[in-house]
Amino acid sequence: MTGVNDLIDRPTEELPSPAVLIDLPTLRRNIAEMAKLADGFDVALRPHWKTSKCAEVGRLQLEAGAVGLTAATAAEVEALVVAGFEDVFWAYPPVGPHRIATALRAARQARLIVGVDSLASAEPLAEAAAAAGLTIEVRLEVDTGLGRTGVDPDEALDIAWRLAHTPGLVLEGVFTHEGHVQGVGADPERRTELGTAAGRLLAEVAERMRSDGLEIPSVSVGSTAGARSAPSVAGVTEARPGTYVYGDENQVAIGTIDPADTAMTVLSRVISTERGETVLVDAGIKAMSSDGSMHGDGRIGTVVSGSDGVSDGEGVLATGHEEHGFLRGSSPKRVGELIRIRPNHACGLTNMHSHVFAVENGVVVDIWPVLGRY
Ligand SMILES: Cc1ncc(COP(=O)(O)O)c(C=O)c1O
């Protein structure tokens, strides 16, 4: 954006809207807290970078002790390597020529570990790596309950053996994304139960492999909702939470993140009050993303208010068109008035924007490009 750097040192009220604000003190606190939690469990921390896609955030995470970062897309892997990050786990099947080419390029410049869940997804990468004279580290994904990618735990040993003996690959470990822990919603006991069970299942699978003669250095779990349970299990060696770094309304809704620990909001202006109690603002679907709400009421964002900028009670973005948000349940508003909105899902929101504004005490202190968007 032309002249965007002129906005550094300016109060947030002067920003063009909609604009993504990242509260720097909250961000730093979230990073420090998760580093402390991982330390307490004696596991390595490898945050999922898709939440921020900002090199600056990744560097803060590494400074706080993270061993490396996790990525989902080829564009994220490319961006991380170009930005100089040296240890990347690509937690996504390397299917298709573009992903194989990205993996080979990245593996020449950095330590790259690639997630696979079948021989079919691993063999083309193995062949390309062997032909290029490279050996690529792979982790086998195990489904511990989410029901997305990941091999059935009972079939993991057989596939691990084959991977370990495939030229061009070296089996580095096992991993899971225990996303089903978030799915149970606001039930802390059930979350702990499922997170612990996921960690236990993965550690058992790794133990079976070791008993069979395979070396399995890494046993990696990863999610924000499961961050207090899955990595606490003996045998788990690594945690990969992502959303924690910014926090979002869906984590607030289920009670895994306190509203005061959400660093990300969207600054928006009231553009019309012609619809009476429903007020129109300039943050619609293209600003907020269309990620669903765990409140179950279809909202696309939650308005925050108060001097701390985090307390609730100022209404919700009930729905949106592309550039129009429909604000309901708020106090009367004037055209031009500013509001701040907490997104349902931080990672989805990040991918909608080309940059974010790092702010402290209501002043812009830095502007961070969002890298590696599709
Ligand atoms: C493979 C993998 N690991 C880790 C994470 C991080 O989870 P969360 O964003 O809940 O912290 C995700 C998120 O989707 C993921 O897909």
The domain locations on the chain are 4-21+255-369, 24-246
- Say whether pLDDT at 21 is over 60: yes
What angle, rounded to 10 degrees, do the helices at 119-131 and 156-164 form? 10
> Does the CB atom of residue 115 touch ligand 1 within 6 A?
no
Does domain 4-21+255-369 fall into CATH 3.40.50.720?
A: no
Using 50, 70 and 90 to split pLDDT, how confident is the model at 309? very low
Between 182-191, 204-213, 300-309, 365-374, the lowest mean confidence (pLDDT) is in 300-309
DSSP for residue 112? E
> Does the CB atom of residue 139 touch ligand 1 within 6 A?
no
- Say whether pLDDT at 308 is over 70: no
Q: How far apart are CA 142 and CA 44, in angstroms?
A: 19
> Does the CB atom of residue 309 touch ligand 1 within 6 A?
no
| Mean pLDDT computed over 76-92 | 98
pLDDT at residue 4 in the model? 78
Q: Token digits for 250? A: 């869906």
Q: How far apart are CA 233 and CA 79, in angstroms?
A: 33
**Greatest CA separation for the chain:** 71
| Phi, then psi, of 124 in degrees rounded to 5 | -60, -35
Nearest ligand 1 atom, CA 347: 9
Q: How far apart are CA 236 and CA 89, in angstroms?
A: 16
pLDDT over 70 percentage in the chain: 97
24-246: CATH architecture? Alpha-Beta Barrel (3.20)
pLDDT at residue 374 in the model? 76
The pLDDT tens digits of the residues spanning 245-290 come to 999 999 999 999 999 999 999 999 999 999 999 999 999 999 999 9
Average model confidence (pLDDT) across the chain:
96
**DSSP state string for 14-57:** GS-SSEEEEEHHHHHHHHHHHHHHHHHHT-EE--BGGGT--HHH
User: 374 with 77: CB under 8 angstroms?
Assistant: no
Q: Pairing between strand 279-281 and 325-328? A: antiparallel
Closest alpha carbon to 195 in 244, 145, 243, 252: 145
pLDDT at residue 310 in the model? 45
Pocket probe for ligand 1: among 30, 43, 48, the residue whose CB has the most ligand atoms within 8 Å is: 48
Residues in CB range of 275: below 8 A, 6 or more apart: 326
pLDDT at residue 313 in the model? 58
Q: Token digits for 354? A: 């080309």
pLDDT over 90 percentage in the chain: 95
Between 68-77, 259-268, 298-307, the lowest mean confidence (pLDDT) is in 298-307
- Say whether pLDDT at 306 is over 80: no
| Mean pLDDT computed over 87-103 | 98
Using 50, 70 and 90 to split pLDDT, how confident is the model at 312? low
Q: How far apart are CA 89 and CA 45, in angstroms?
A: 12
Nearest ligand 1 atom, CA 148: 16
Distance 222 CA to ligand 1 centre (A): 6
The pLDDT tens digits of the residues spanning 323-339 come to 999 999 998 999 999 99
Q: How far apart are CA 168 and CA 314, in angstroms?
A: 56
Higher pLDDT, 2 or 242: 242
For 331, counting Cβ atoms within 10 Å of its Cβ (0-12 exposed, 13-18 middle, 19+ buried), the class is exposed
pLDDT at residue 5 in the model? 80
> Does the CB atom of residue 240 touch ligand 1 within 6 A?
yes
Using 50, 70 and 90 to split pLDDT, how confident is the model at 307? very low
Using 50, 70 and 90 to split pLDDT, how confident is the model at 28? very high
Entry pTM: 0.97
Pocket probe for ligand 1: among 144, 223, 349, the residue whose CB has the most ligand atoms within 8 Å is: 223
